[in-house]
Structure 1
C-alpha cells in the first residue's frame, strides 16, 4: 500500500487529494510543524535526507518532490486518468504546468513569505529597519513579479476554466497550491477567474475527503 509522509499545512495535501481522485488506498504518516520555526520535524529526515514533505513510499520505492510523486502515481496507478492523451496540445500544457507549479510559480511566493516574516524574526532594536527594508523589497521587486504570475494564471484559466484542456486534470491539482497561497498572501483573491477555479476544486468530494484525512491546512477556505 502507498504510504504518504504528510506534513500539516503543506503542499503534500495535493498528494492526498490526487489519491482520493483516483480512488487509491493509502496510509498517512502525519507530521506536525515546529510551533516556533514552522519547519518540518527532524523525524522526516529518516525517510528522506532533506526532511521535506511530501514523500511517498510504496514497495520499497521512495519518491520525493510533489511533481515527481504525481508523475509516479499517474504512471503506476492512473490508468490514463487525470492526464491528457500523449502527443496532444493538452498533454504538452499538462507537462508545462507540472514543472511550472513548483518552479517559476513558487519563487515569488516564497520570496513574499520570507520578506513578510523577516521583521518578526529580527531583534526589537533592528525590527523597524528590517521592516522598512523588507517592505521596500516587496514593493519594488516581489509584488510586481507576483502580480505578473497571478495575471498569467487568471488569463490561462479564462480560456477553459482548467489548466490543461477543457477538463479537470492533475495539472489543476499541482497548480492549486500556488493559487491558494497567492490568495492568502498575494492578492489573487481579487481575480474572478482564480476565485471561481478555487471554488470549483474546493467543492470536489475528493478534495474535501483528503482535507478531512490530512488535517490542518491553512489554505483551504
Structure 2
C-alpha cells in the first residue's frame, strides 16, 4: 500500500511517553489482558466526536469498556440482510460473545451529526439527501426522532432535544435485536441511555417512566 506514511513525530513521542510510564508501571496487567483476553463489564456506544472521551468520563481502566463509536451514537434497527453492518456486528459480539452486563448509549451536546440531520430534514443540506451520502443515509435512522422534536424552538433547544432523542431511538432499536431482547428480559443485560454536556461536564440519564433525561447522581 504505497500511500501509507510514517506516524507524525508528535504521535511517536506520545507513544514513547506512554510506553515508558503507564505501560511500564502496569506491564503485568497488560500482559494479563493479552493472555487471558478481554472481559469488559459494559459496552458503550458513543459518537465519533473527538470531544467525547468515554474512558475519562468514567475513569475507566484498560479492558473495562468495549467501545463502539459512530456518527451520532446511533444503532440501526435489526436487519439481517447480508450487508455490512459495523454497529450491529459490534453489538452482536459484545452481547453474545463477551456477554457484557451493561449496554450504554452515550449522546452529547453540539453533535455535528444531529445538526446535520436537522439541516437535512429542513431542506438546508441537499448534499446529505444524495443517495451516495454515507452520512445522510446514516442520519435516516434519526429522521423519526426529528418528527418528534420539530416543533421545538430552532437552535440549541431543538438540537439538544434531538441529541437526546437519538439516544432513545438507539435504545429502542437495540430491543429489535433478538439476542439483546432475550438477555434484557432474562435480566442478564441492562440498557442505559446517557447524554453528556461537553462544556459543563454534565451527565444526564434517560428515565423511561417519564421519557425524560435527569442529572446523574
Interval containing the TM-score (normalised by the shorter chain): under 0.3
TM-score when scaled to structure 1?
Answer: 0.24
- Structure number with greater CO (CA < 8 Å, separation at least 6) is 1
More strand per residue: 1 or 2?
Answer: 2
TM-score when scaled to structure 2?
Answer: 0.25
